[in-house]
Structure 1
Amino acid sequence: MNSKYKPYILVLPFLLIMTLIFFMGLINGVIQSLGYLPFIGLKEFTFKFYSEVLKDKEFLSSLSYTLYISLASSILSVGIGILVAFLLDKVKKDGKLSYGLYETPIIIPHLVGILVVIYIFSQTGIISRVMYLIGIIKEPSDFPLLIYDEKGIGIIFVYLYKQIPYVALTVYSVLKNLNKGLKDVALNLGASSMQAVIYIILPLLAPSILSSFLITFAFDFGAFEVPFLLGSPAKSMLPVKAYIDYTNPDFAYRPYTMVTNVIISTISLLLVLGYTQIFKYFGKKGKEGGII
């Protein structure tokens, strides 16, 4: 066996099985979203379920809430992650300890992050207890509601805990390999340090920054366990709403559930396409002698 193709041949059975399962599930979901459920007597394809879902106030509220959580956590993660990357580049410590500080949260499961947030930021958590003991608040219940709240602060905390190190690692990996002579030239020509960063460094980091944003946004948009365990009972993100609707014992409601799943999948697919287009664009600019 040719050693060049051996790894691909070895993983081919797994890829075929997973691809088959994925596409069978996706096709089945699309078919059911079009109202074809012969086991309950629905045998005609129709787009009426899409029309009804897209006009449903509960769905639109859940969609806007999902976009809010995804955008807020992604923007904060990218912004803080960039600052951490610049700080790491400034101190220039590439030892195991410095790597471990921002690599460890990446490998820790989200469920552990959820427990950490509950233990620290809930009304019976560490911060509220400390504030109660030193007299800042009279009762633990006086501590602001940061978990299970309608603003999704607890959800955002978990995403920040996981995503800031990821963005920092991604951006720093590019930043430390940049030609620092470009910045020195700009400083010698009279630019300030901030101008050199804005007009020289950040454009060079643009591919990694934009890709990090799309990846974090796509994950936040489609994630289930964090909003399910930390979300408010009054508001649900789309993946949680889809799950709740799916558990409805009335099978006549199944097409509405599948419409929600198809919309989530479509948005995720568009984000993947956007991700690939970004790299194509910057790759073409690099070949043309552009910003990279």
Structure 2
Amino acid sequence: MKKKLTPYLLLIPQIILTILLLAGLVTGITQSLGVVPAFGLEKPTLAYYKEILSRPDILESVLYSLKTALVSALVATAAGSVICGIFVMAGKTRGAMIRVIQLPVIVPHVVAALFMINIFSQNGILARIAWMLGLIEEQQQFPLLIYDSWGIGVILAYIWKEIPFIIYFVIALMANINGSLGEAAVNLGAGKWTAFWKVTLPLCKNTIFSGFLIIFVFALGAYETPLLLGATTPKALPILAYQQYIHPDLTHRPYAMALNGLIMVISLISAVAYFKLMQKNTRQMSGGEKNET
């Protein structure tokens, strides 16, 4: 009897977490529609969504968040894929070097932000080195890479964290494909790099794009990195949502939830794209296994 109940008992923590997640999600959606009975707001409306999408400062924050997330994800994905290819072609997909490259994955984003401040700020290491070499007369002449309106510091922090993630996410599959189909292409007369570009890389594209979607959605919804490295204005969407949430005027709560809803819609679109890619990968793998048999 105890053995029969064990699987159900082990599911209890997961069930509780799922209920809490769904309760929070439903509450957030209803509040974003202006239904907060405790504050005297009882009629559902899309006015809050319309207002945040028409305010210039919020639209600027939307563009800022999309820009930092998109640029960092694109650069990290491209650089990570190239580094993966170099290691795969060199036959070094395991060992100490790979472990060192993957170290940033386990470093918290807060720590990564502190690294960026210590290195790239106008009082950081690079500014001091430039001053010592006589390249600048004072440290304040060093280019503003942190707290800038372009989000350069935020992008640099994400790139440093995300390149190792892409390598970790892709390298095993890339090595496997290159060691089988890539070698088959080489045996048929193709050069190593030709086989890589025309056989290995195209077969990895769905996985690479899936990695891109993961880091894009994470960067879009992250709070700590743009808080520590971003400019005073424009603010990233998560920061703007938090400020609206803690506003002394409690009627601002729906604005916070509407901003979170905007992030959620973009994330859901990315999640659907990710799901479709996973389905496509599964079908391709199933087709490959059937062909082998």
Q: CA deviation at 1:183?
A: 3.1
Q: Determine helix, strand or coil for the equivalent of 1:281.
A: helix
Residue 29 (structure 1) aligns with: 28
Tell which deviates more after alignment, 249-258 or 136-145.
249-258
Residue 82 (structure 1) aligns with: 81
Aligned length: 290
2:126 maps to amino acid: I
Residues in 1 aligned to 2:137 and 2:8: alpha-carbon distance in whole angstroms: 65
Task: Output aligned runs, 1:49-198, within 5 Å.
Answer: 49-94=48-93, 96-180=95-179, 182-187=181-186, 191-198=190-197
Q: Determine helix, strand or coil for the equivalent of 2:137.
A: coil
Q: CA deviation at 1:189?
A: 5.3
Residues in 2 aligned to 1:179 and 1:115: alpha-carbon distance in whole angstroms: 38
Residues in 1 aligned to 2:138 and 2:9: alpha-carbon distance in whole angstroms: 60
Deviations 1:72-119 (A, max 9, x none): 000001111011112222333355422321221111111111111111
2:237 maps to amino acid: L
1:29 maps to amino acid: G
Q: Report the CA distance shift for 1:121/1:275 in structure 2 as closer, same or farther (over 3 A).
A: same
2:204 maps to amino acid: L
Residues in 2 aligned to 1:10 and 1:157: alpha-carbon distance in whole angstroms: 45
Tell which deviates more after alignment, 62-71 or 9-18.
9-18
Q: Report the CA distance shift for 1:113/1:54 in structure 2 as closer, same or farther (over 3 A).
A: same
Q: CA deviation at 1:188?
A: 5.8
Q: CA deviation at 1:125?
A: 0.6
Residues in 1 aligned to 2:174 and 2:120: alpha-carbon distance in whole angstroms: 34
1:199 and 2:210 equivalent? Answer: no
Residue 241 (structure 2) aligns with: 242
* 8 Å CA contact retained: 1:102, 1:169: no
* 8 Å CA contact retained: 1:117, 1:158: yes
Tell which deviates more after alignment, 106-115 or 54-63.
54-63
Query: Kindly, what percent of the aligned residue pairs are identical?
Result: 36
Q: Report the CA distance shift for 1:152/1:39 in structure 2 as closer, same or farther (over 3 A).
A: same
2:171 maps to amino acid: Y
Tell which deviates more after alignment, 202-211 or 132-141.
202-211
Tell which deviates more after alignment, 106-115 or 173-182.
173-182
Residue 15 (structure 1) aligns with: 14
Q: CA deviation at 1:237?
A: 1.2
Residue 41 (structure 1) aligns with: 40
Q: CA deviation at 1:194?
A: 4.4
The CA RMSD over aligned residues, in Å, is 2.3
Tell which deviates more after alignment, 218-227 or 86-95.
86-95
2:169 maps to amino acid: T
Deviations 1:183-211 (A, max 9, x none): 34545656555442232111211232011
2:256 maps to amino acid: T
Q: Report the CA distance shift for 1:174/1:181 in structure 2 as closer, same or farther (over 3 A).
A: closer
Deviations 1:26-68 (A, max 9, x none): 1111111111122232221112222222222222211111111
1:171 maps to amino acid: V
Residue 224 (structure 2) aligns with: 225
Q: Report the CA distance shift for 1:36/1:134 in structure 2 as closer, same or farther (over 3 A).
A: same
Q: Which structure 2 segments of 5+ residues have no match?
A: none
1:252 maps to amino acid: T
Q: Determine helix, strand or coil for the equivalent of 1:288.
A: helix
Residues in 2 aligned to 1:139 and 1:200: alpha-carbon distance in whole angstroms: 52
Residues in 2 aligned to 1:21 and 1:119: alpha-carbon distance in whole angstroms: 39
Q: Determine helix, strand or coil for the equivalent of 1:93.
A: coil
Residues in 1 aligned to 2:201 and 2:178: alpha-carbon distance in whole angstroms: 13
Residues in 1 aligned to 2:227 and 2:38: alpha-carbon distance in whole angstroms: 30
Q: CA deviation at 1:182?
A: 3.2
1:89 maps to amino acid: V
Residues in 2 aligned to 1:10 and 1:216: alpha-carbon distance in whole angstroms: 34
Task: Output aligned runs, 1:263-282, within 5 Å.
Answer: 263-282=262-281
